[in-house]
Structure 1
Amino acid sequence: MYLYQLILIVSLCSILPAMAESGHPQQSKKPKHPDNLIPLPEVPELPPETDSSPLLPEIPVDPELETEVTIIKRGEDIIEEHRVNGELLMIKVIPRIGPPYYLKKNPIRSHHDHAGEGGIDVNPPMWQILRF
């Protein structure tokens, strides 16, 4: 009994779309577009490639602004000190276990408000989460 119902349903599903297409002979299969369409302009040709690329101007490098990196090994840990013009700006610590972390100078606390303020001028340790 269920087999006959299944055959009837499958046959109707295959016949109904064919009847729907053939039922309206006045309709063409081309979609109708508005009459006021304007064609797109042609794509211009690219200029020919040249081997001589424009040269960048020579800019002298200021040695005072170059970063000086000092690498220190303490046991199995590696410490990189980054200095600019002799001033320590950042320390990168690469431990034997775990990800590297950075200690940067805190520019806000570089000038103490009063003599009783303790602590050092370093931000809390920072770990790199994403890299682009």
Structure 2
Amino acid sequence: MKRTLLATLLLLVLPFGAVAEEPAPLPAPPELPPQVESGEVLEPEVTIIESDKGTVQEYRINGRLYMVKITPVAGPPYYLLDNDGDGTLDVRQEAHPGKIAIPQWVLFSW
């Protein structure tokens, strides 16, 4: 009985002895890199082309065409979007409420 009690007390005291040791000092943090200044234009470049059939607005960022808005003389305007970035413009389906257009922003590019 005494051995069991002694072993239990010893097991309870050992973790506190390990905590009492001082941890190794942490290394100094590295220097921060200089702030990156981007020459990238945040607003899209819009080219408006008017003709007798209607108006075409081309939206580009960094010279890359990502959306076209077509406004015919007769009828509602519609959009052509590059949804997946492959360079192919797809028709925006606003008539189908079941399909949700998820915003897709480019956070990083190389």
TM tier, smaller: 0.3 to 0.5
Structure ID, larger Rg: 1
* TM-score using structure 2 length: 0.45
* TM-score using structure 1 length: 0.38
